[in-house]
Amino acid sequence: MSAPGWSWEWDREARRRMVLRTVKCVTACGALLLAWSLGTPTVEAHWADQAVAEIKVEAAQARITLAFPTSLAIFADDDHDGQLSAQEVRRHRAELETFLGQHIRVADGDARGALAVEPASTGDVTPGPGTHSTLLLVYRWSKPIKTLAIQYELFVPGVSTASCLATIVYGGQVRTFVFTPERRTLTLASGTASLWHQGISFTALGIRHILTGHDHMLFLVSLLMLGGGLRSLLKTVTAFTVAHSVTLSLAALGIATLPPRLVESGIALSIAYVAAENLWRGAHAIRTRWFVTFSFGLIHGLGFATILRQLAISRANLALSLVSFNFGVELGQIAVVTAALLSLGALATLPWESTMRRWVSAAAAAIGIVWFIQRAFLV
């Protein structure tokens, strides 16, 4: 019998013991994670902490159509259905104007605009039904606007990943900006070039989406737990990159789309499958891992595109936004893979390294199953 390790050429008794250990591991991880998940509110993946804004600047006014987490204005949600109705907006108009005026300040030089809050028109995009509300914020001045400064402070408290994805139409140009707790201010002058700024914003958005997207990160880590050498790793990572780039582009162009609930459930299943394959097939999975990764990468690409579809990006700026966002995703992916490989390399000489890989795979499989249940059945 060969020495124990990350080898699958064991006799029947060794395999039986390995299966029993794996079952115990998965059961323990699953029980802990399920208990944790039942005590944690289930929210729509990626959107719970985000807002979307369409900002149109005219001669002496700025109109902001804002979709934001209703929890931030819970005082106006009288029926507690997670969305502000037109009646609730009118009933709490004064409170909303005070609250939003404090958290979204828009000024032309030293002159702050006078804010009026109205119910948004029917059909305005709301990213999370049941979790977000859409309002129309109108800021007015007595003179034509020269230089507009927007100070955005409407973030979910204590959440570093909170953001607002903004599309701005001003001076005949369409530009985009991502407000975050670290980047709260945007200054605009009519006719100023913004392509470089837009590229930087979308690159940063792509990096944040990977580094704060725990499901995408866990999928990458699960892929690495199999091992297989540098050549196999390059094939696997390349397959994932090509696949998600294809569907990201198609989805951003509106050519290929699927319901968000189906996409997010598929991402969770991809984690569970890859992690389980590490346990049950082991080294035998290396030859086909690139194909499995490519297939699941198509689903992850649709998940990446969710953010871009929520922004009203003009066709003229779509190519730059898409390339910049995808570049940011790749940078984030490289960071995750590099960190994981360095960690695995440091552990490679330890006697329990193969056991650690199995435990990580088992935990990832359990997490993937829990996420699938939450997303598919809205538990």
pLDDT at 216: 92
The domain segmentation of the chain, as residue ranges, is 12-40+209-377, 50-192
| Percentage of residues in the chain having pLDDT higher than 90 | 42
- For tokens 């909170």, name the residue: 162
The predicted pLDDT at position 315 comes to 65
Q: Is the pLDDT of residue 279 over 70?
A: yes
Residues forming a β-bridge with 40: none
Could you report the per-residue pLDDT of 146-157, keeping only the tens digit for each? Answer: 889 999 999 988
Q: Is the pLDDT of residue 8 over 60?
A: no
> How far is it, in rounded angstroms, from Cα 127 to Cα 310?
7
The per-residue pLDDT for 321 is 83
pLDDT value for 43: 39
pLDDT band at 172 (very low <50, low <70, confident <90, very high): low
8 A C-beta contact, residue 28 and residue 365: no
By the 8 A CB rule, do 228 and 374 touch? Answer: no
Beta bridge partners of 149: 107, 187
Its pTM stands at 0.67
Mean pLDDT of the chain: 82
- Least confident span in 243-257, 304-318, 338-352: 304-318
pLDDT tens figures, 100-149: 999 999 999 899 999 999 998 754 444 455 788 999 999 999 999 988 99
Type and span of the H or E element at 366:
helix 353-377
What pLDDT digit, counting tens, does each position of 282-296 carry? 667 778 888 999 999
Instruction: Give the pLDDT band of residue 36 (cuts 50, 70, 90).
Output: very low
Of 95-109, 114-128, 232-246, 248-262, the range with the lowest mean pLDDT is 114-128
What does 193-239 look like in DSSP terms, one character per residue?
A: --HHHHHHHHHHHHHHHHHS-HHHHHHHHHHHTT---HHHHHHHHHH
Long-range contacts: 312-315, Cβ < 8 Å, 24+? 312/54, 312/167, 313/167, 313/174, 313/176, 314/174
What's the average model confidence in pLDDT over 324-351?
88
**pLDDT band for position 335 (cuts 50, 70, 90):** very high
Q: Is the pLDDT of residue 63 over 50?
A: yes
Q: What is the DSSP letter of 379?
A: -
Task: Write down the residue that tokens 């995808």 correspond to.
Answer: 326
Q: In terms of pLDDT, which residue wins out, 161 or 284?
A: 161
